[in-house]
Amino acid sequence: MEEVTITSYDGVPIRTYHSRLAPGRENVVIVLPLATRPSFIAPAIERLTEQYNIITWESRLILEPHVPAQDPGSLSIESSNKDLNAIYDYFQISSAYMLGYCSGAAAALYMAAHNPGRVHRLALVNGAYFLTGGECDLTQYEQDVIGLLPQIASDRNRASYILHKFFANGTGSARFGNPEFGEETCRPFSNADSLYRFGLGLRNFMSHDSQKEAREITVPALVASGKRDDRTHYSSSILIQTQLRNSEFYLDSTGDHYELCRGKPELLETLTGFFSKC
């Protein structure tokens, strides 16, 4: 993957990554989870580049101090959407397939709903929608995030207190991270400022109405989840799929939250099959 820095509407740098962009190939824009880099899903990207041009980016660089967290809009999902448009304009893309994973799936829903002409197929994998209306089950992880997030996002001092209470002895990292992908999943918990910024960004992503946005999307959509996902319960993906007008659902009976990161062949075959449909 090649790296290029694009400047967004508000001066924030967008660290963007792309495969060799071959003429005549379809473009797949990947919306990564908050605070992760493309290396998190490297096996999936490697497989997808066999058929598609791949473009992705680090969402708002939310863990880096030069992004002004005190500006209410700087870590908002609306700003992330404007970043997407800056990326499309830079690469002169009129429309593309879109793949959103984890919290990136929630962001991709927003982006597809607000850019109806720029997304012509949408795939959502193990979406972190954090639906709290009681219509679906929640994993313990989702309950923990929902319970702690208002405190983490309230101010840096509170984030610092939570960091030392839950993460200093390693128990929080075990609950919220994943040893298999430790470096990426534990990045937000490295210091109080990172945790605070991550909390702000995740709170902003959770504040929009995913079900409403799903109802506004008319392009073909695929919603995929794993029955053994202990991060985001598959019932929330089912609920989102029912709100999409033109959609299909894929449930991996043995899959957990990280099958895309591992490049599981069955999941990637499902994604490429969906993107390849006329």
Structural domains of the chain sorted by starting position, each given as residue range(s) with its CATH number in brackets: 2-139+209-275 (3.40.50.1820)
Average the pLDDT over 130-137 and give the result.
88
The yes-or-no verdict on residue 173 having pLDDT over 70 is: no
Convert the pLDDT of each residue in 58-97 to its tens digit: 988 888 877 777 676 788 899 999 999 999 999 999 999 9
**Once rounded to an integer, what is the mean pLDDT over residues 47-68?**
90
* Whether pLDDT at 6 is above 90: yes
At residue 170, does pLDDT exceed 70? Answer: no
Q: How crowded is residue 42: how many other Cβ atoms within 10 Å of its Cβ? A: 14
- Which pLDDT score, from 0 to 100, does residue 163 have? 87
- Give dist(CA 177, CA 184) in Å, integer: 8
Q: Name the band, by pLDDT with cuts 50, 70 and 90, for residue 178.
A: confident
CA gap 257, 141 in Å, rounded: 12
Per-residue pLDDT reduced to its tens digit, 230-255: 999 999 999 999 999 999 999 999 99
- Nearest 5°: phi and psi at 56? -150, 175
Residue 271 pLDDT greater than 60, yes or no? yes
Q: What's the residue count for the chain?
A: 278
How distant, in Å, are the alpha carbons of 93, 101, 142, 246 from that of 189?
35, 20, 17, 38
Question: Would the pLDDT of 29 be above 90?
Answer: yes
Listed in sequence order, the residues at least 6 apart from 165 whose beta carbon sits closer than 8 Å to its beta carbon are: none
Given this model, what pLDDT does residue 169 score? 60
Instruction: Check if the beta carbon of residue 224 is closer than 8 Å to that of residue 134.
Output: no
For residues 124 and 33, what is the distance between their CA atoms, to the nearest angstrom? Answer: 12
Asked if pLDDT for residue 214 goes beyond 90, the answer is yes
Q: What is the mean pLDDT of the chain?
A: 92
pLDDT the model gives residue 88: 97
**Nearest-5° Cα angle at 103, 44 to 91:** 60
pLDDT at 168: 63
- Find the mean pLDDT for residues 21-32: 96
pLDDT at residue 199, rounded to an integer: 92
Query: How far is it, in rounded angstroms, from Cα 178 to Cα 162?
Result: 19
Question: What's the predicted TM-score (pTM) here?
Answer: 0.94
What are the DSSP calls for 186-249, one per residue? Answer: TGGGSSHHHHHHHHHHHHHHHTS-HHHHHHH--S-EEEEEETT-SSS-HHHHHHHHHH-SSEEE
Dihedrals phi, psi of 44, to nearest 5 degrees? -70, -45
Confidence of residue 185 (pLDDT cuts 50, 70, 90): confident
The contacts of residue 121 (CB under 8 Å, 6+ apart) are: 97, 98, 219, 220, 221, 222, 274, 275, 277
> Is residue 237 a contact partner of residue 189, using CB atoms and an 8 Å limit?
no
Residue 78 in tokens: 């609306």
pLDDT of residue 66: 73
Beta-strand relationship, 53-57 and 247-252: unpaired
Per DSSP, helices labelled H in the chain are: 42-48, 77-91, 103-114, 140-152, 156-162, 171-176, 182-185, 192-206, 210-216, 234-243, 259-262, 265-275
Task: Report the distance separating Cα 166 and Cα 150, nearest Å.
Answer: 15
